Structure 1
Amino acid sequence: MTGAGTRARRLARLMDEAGLDVLVATSAENVLYLTGISSVGGQNHPYASRALAVVTRERPDAPYFASSRGDVDQFLDATTALSGVVAYGAFHRVLPEGLELSAREERFKQIGVDAAPAPDALAALVRILTEAGAAGARIGVDENAAPPGFLERLAEALPGSAVRPAAAVLQQVRKVKSEAELHRIAKAAALAEDGIRAALGIAAQGVTEQDMVREFETTVARGGGRSRFTLIKFGRDGVLGQTRPSDRPLRRGESVWFDVGCTYQGYWSDIARTASFGEPSARLSAVYAAMLAGEQAALEAAKPGMTGGELFDRTVEAVRAAGVPHYRRHHVGHGIGAEIYEPVLITPGNADVIEDGTVVNSETPYYEFGLGGVHVEDPFVVTEDGNRLLTTLGRSLIVID
């Protein structure tokens, strides 16, 4: 686990290993990670309104921020000291003559009103790099959220610079979580757990999937979170878990499958539970016990230095040994943080290494026609001193009387 200083040193080290002088974040998630700013444009208009964060090797703890002029007020939300802010494009705010501004308003006015904006995001980035003395530097750009041709146009605008893709560098930096990040992930998980409890609290004959989804999402919002996906299915419909919630009423003897996620201050949760409305069938109980055995094996086995592929094998083998010998999966977990899927991915043969401070979102889903979805999923942080669950909701098969 890292603090701000440790994170900056890790960022500098990985930039050195990649041979980079500058790192440019283009995705809303990476901008959030580097600055603490949840870009409105980056989330709501990712193809048209782009926020950027830029760090240099010399000052990895003091990013630059660029945003459209309409969204640039968000620089006031930064959780770290910014080296500079550049706005681009057109946006108009009226300042009545003689109005006395607060210190916060005056600080914004200097950047969002007085300073001449760049024409577009690329020009804003060029201005930042020029002011930072990095015009001829080795520049890594998070290519995953960059528009087509962005890297090539940047290289043309800065002759003598070396521009190359660097999304993987940021992914590796983010693999190890700070205490602040762990708090946000745990809080997001707690909100999802509260939503599950609330949805289970209204379970009765006649209640629909739509009713339970509404109860879950209302509870998350009331707690300060944002629902991102709410998959709740009854009985055999769990095998069709990605479909819209139905208005079919819950019947006694059916299972209830939850796979739900929300965000808190930009950080994700992704948890799953299985319940039975009334006494569970022997088949449901047996399959669930095997899924839980797999997740427990992952919780106990994961350690720094283990690869995602090795943890995949341990998890799947545990499920098979516990009573589902035909169990197959393309993955049984993933890292989680500012994105729902982050390194390390728990996939077959994955050579990426779990580190001290990596959060593994372990899961063992099982889908069978006639039975439905059977699933348990939780985040836990891996440390040299042992692993710690970031959830508190019981992981046993839930029985609703």
Structure 2
Amino acid sequence: MFRNPFSDGELARRVAAVREAMAVRGIDVAVLSAPESVFYLTGLDHWGYFAPHHLIVPAAGEMVLVTRAMERVTVATQVRNARFSGHSDSVTAASHIARELRPRPRTRVGLEAQSSGLTFAGGQELALALGADHWADISDLTAGLRQVKSAEEQALMRAAALASDAGTLAAVAAIGDGAREAEVAAECTAAMIRAGSNPPGFGPFIRPGERIAEEHTTWGDGRYRAGGRVMLELAGCVSRYHAPMGRLIHLGHIRDEDAAMAEVAKRAFDAALAGLRPGRRAREVYADWQAVVDVAGMPHYRRHHCGYLVGIGVPPSWTGGNTVTGLRHDSDLEIREGMCFHLLSWFTETGRGDFFVSNTALLGPGGPELLTRAPMGPTVV
């Protein structure tokens, strides 16, 4: 979070792709407000995205980055391909954008209406300033382009995966009877940072087994005890690119039913991984995962997905924004080379034992490849 990670050629390629998509949709000017979109096109990597950032992308010519005036030095240091237009805290970002766009008559403007970076009030103000007939929703424009990772992006994903593995292994080594939850989290986080990780979009999620179902909570003030379990889900992050992974660690012993469920989970994971082939649909990959579950005698067990696309993530998420593009049973998403997925094989509250494992996988020219490689378990410490 201190430098622009992209080459000029990489940034130029992305801007050209955005402009091509704008032309197809009849958009004269795009106002990109999602932090992920601004980062994707400029490389601006900092914590200032809590306040509005808007990148004005005309069909040709100079891009303009509108944000608070106090970000001037950081933008000057990191951004090479857009003019900075700062505003004071006494005016709204939307009013400042409207002034930037005012010299452009009869312009059709594209807005990321579903972005967390464009508030309802800001959207209303912009729509009123532009006229109701002069804007269109382009929330899916850069999100679609970001799905396939370039060579530079893949290198960042690999670096993030190394940090993920380091954090997982450090956490496992710190878990034991009497270990403080906070100490395990500290060892995990320190190992990721030492391995090159920047602060991730969120997490790590580390918590005792009785709190597995809480999804997005993390460590508490207790201690782990023999006979218990520890849930790990974390992601190393390098230049905003995340490589999530998850493990379930057992203290002292593992129940027979959990060990049996571990084998089901790993077989289902392998089926989903093998199912990642160019041209297939996300629902077909989910069906591969579900088929293993059915054969194991649990046709009633369903998940909302068995994985989702990952890459750029800006706090508060590593999923690429406020939506999740998942490998769902009803998704027609086309699987393409260069996509990265957080693949999950998650079995909890089955009545027949619990286990889960997850990894980041890249679909390369030679097929699917696991980027996170710590042992899948079962792991008993």
Normalising to structure 1: TM-score of the pair? 0.80
**Does the CA contact (< 8 Å) of 1:239 and 1:369 recur in 2?**
no
For residue 348 of structure 2, give the secondary structure of its aligned residue in structure 1: strand
**Does the CA contact (< 8 Å) of 1:241 and 1:373 recur in 2?**
no
Q: For 1:252-304, what per-residue CA distance to the aligned partner results, in whole angstroms no more than 9, with x for missing partners?
A: 34333212235332222321012223342221111112112222112111122
Offset at residue 207 of structure 1 (A): 0.9
Matched pairs, number: 362
**Does the CA contact (< 8 Å) of 2:280 and 2:334 recur in 1?**
yes
The answer for the alignment partner of 2:4 in structure 1 is: none
Q: Does 1:163 align with 2:135?
A: yes
Q: In 2 relative to 1, CA 170–291 (structure 1 residues): closer, same or farther, beyond 3 Å?
A: same
CA–CA distance in structure 2, aligned partners of residues 236 and 146 of structure 1: 38
For residue 71 of structure 1, give the secondary structure of its aligned residue in structure 2: helix
- Larger mean CA deviation between 368-377 and 249-258 belongs to 368-377
For residue 32 of structure 1, give the secondary structure of its aligned residue in structure 2: helix
Task: Please give the residue correspondences for 1:22-41 in structure 2 after superposition, counting only pairs within 5 Å.
Answer: 22-41=29-48
**Does the CA contact (< 8 Å) of 2:197 and 2:237 recur in 1?**
no
The answer for the alignment partner of 2:54 in structure 1 is: 52
Task: Tell me the percent identity.
Answer: 22
Q: In 2 relative to 1, CA 19–306 (structure 1 residues): closer, same or farther, beyond 3 Å?
A: farther
CA–CA distance in structure 1, aligned partners of residues 11 and 218 of structure 2: 41
Task: Please give the residue correspondences for 1:1-400 in structure 2 after superposition, counting only pairs within 5 Å.
Answer: 3-43=10-50, 49-58=51-60, 63-78=63-78, 80-82=80-82, 84-89=83-88, 119-130=91-102, 134-143=104-113, 144=115, 145-158=117-130, 162-222=134-194, 223-227=196-200, 228-240=202-214, 242-322=216-296, 324-339=298-313, 340-342=318-320, 344-368=325-349, 374-400=355-381
Q: For 1:212-233, what per-residue CA distance to the aligned partner results, in whole angstroms no more than 9, with x for missing partners?
A: 1222123234444214212223
Normalising to structure 2: TM-score of the pair? 0.84
Q: For 1:94-137, what per-residue CA distance to the aligned partner results, in whole angstroms no more than 9, with x for missing partners?
A: xxxxxxxxxxxxxxxxxxxxxxxxx4322332344356xx4422
**Does the CA contact (< 8 Å) of 1:275 and 1:398 recur in 2?**
yes
For residue 229 of structure 1, give the secondary structure of its aligned residue in structure 2: coil
CA–CA distance in structure 1, aligned partners of residues 132 and 258 of structure 2: 64
For residue 308 of structure 2, give the secondary structure of its aligned residue in structure 1: strand
Q: For 1:330-367, what per-residue CA distance to the aligned partner results, in whole angstroms no more than 9, with x for missing partners?
A: 11111112232256421221122222222111112222
RMSD over equivalenced CA pairs, Å: 2.9
CA–CA distance in structure 1, aligned partners of residues 96 and 33 of structure 2: 13
Long gaps (5+) in structure 1: 44-48, 92-118
Q: For 1:153-196, what per-residue CA distance to the aligned partner results, in whole angstroms no more than 9, with x for missing partners?
A: 33443469721221111211211122222233332332222111
CA–CA distance in structure 1, aligned partners of residues 127 and 251 of structure 2: 61
Offset at residue 33 of structure 1 (A): 1.2
Query: Which one-letter code corresponds to 1:21 in the other structure?
Result: D
The answer for the alignment partner of 2:3 in structure 1 is: none
CA–CA distance in structure 1, aligned partners of residues 350 and 290 of structure 2: 20
**Does the CA contact (< 8 Å) of 2:285 and 2:327 recur in 1?**
yes
Long gaps (5+) in structure 2: 1-8
CA–CA distance in structure 2, aligned partners of residues 156 and 254 of structure 1: 57
